[in-house]
Each structure stands twice: as C-alpha cells, then as structure tokens.
Amino acid sequence: MPAVTIQLPAVLAQMVEGQRVFEVSGATIGEALEDLVTQRPALRVHLFDESGGMRPHVLCFHNDDYARGIEGLSWPIAAGDRLTILNSIAGGALAG
C-alpha cells in the first residue's frame, strides 16, 4: 500500500504527545486515516463520529484539494501524497 504523510494541527497533536506528522499506509483517504487511528487510538474520537464519518468540524485536505464527507474518505491516494487535517473554528463575537 502507498505510504503517505498525515499532518495534524497542534490541538490534535496534544492528544499524541505533540507528534504532528505521521507516516501511514492506505489505498484511500479512509484507509490512511484508519491506519492513523490504529497507530494512535486516542485520535479516533476526535476525528470520527459514532457512525464512522468524519466529525463536521474536521477538515481533510489531500495534497491541496479539500476532501469532505463519506465520498472524500473513498478518494484514492498514491505514495508520497500528503493529507492535512485541520479543525474548523466558529463562533466568537466582534468587539464593539
């Protein structure tokens, strides 16, 4: 299977002793993420909901393309690809 790199944001890296970059294997984005949570089980609850879908606030980029939802998990990947995980941020108030 292709070896790809997954990069995590700092907030998720806190869950895995500060490690932000992982080498994983998989033929699809979903398989690569499954390899990641197999290596680091503490990440599963932060990335996936109870039905196995990505949590709504988790953004996944395949190289420079945004991959979202169940169809994003089935996207094929190749050796040397890069997956970047980000957390969307909402809320707050404007100072007035």
pLDDT tens per residue across all 96 residues of the chain: 669 999 999 999 999 999 999 999 999 999 999 999 999 999 999 999 999 888 888 999 999 899 876 578 899 999 999 999 998 876 656 655
**Which amino acid would we find at residue 71?**
E
> Which residue bears the tokens 């998720």?
12
Rounded Cα distance between 66 and 68, Å, is 6
Q: What is the CATH code for 3-87?
A: 3.10.20.30
Taking residue 13's Cβ as centre, other Cβ atoms within 10 Å add up to 15
Residue boundaries of the structural domains of the chain: 3-87
- Determine contact, residues 22/5, Cβ cutoff 8 Å: yes
Residue 92, pLDDT score: 57
Res 71: pLDDT:
74
What is the pTM assigned to this prediction?
A: 0.86
Number of H helices, E strands in the chain: 4, 5
CB 82 within 8 A of CB 90: no
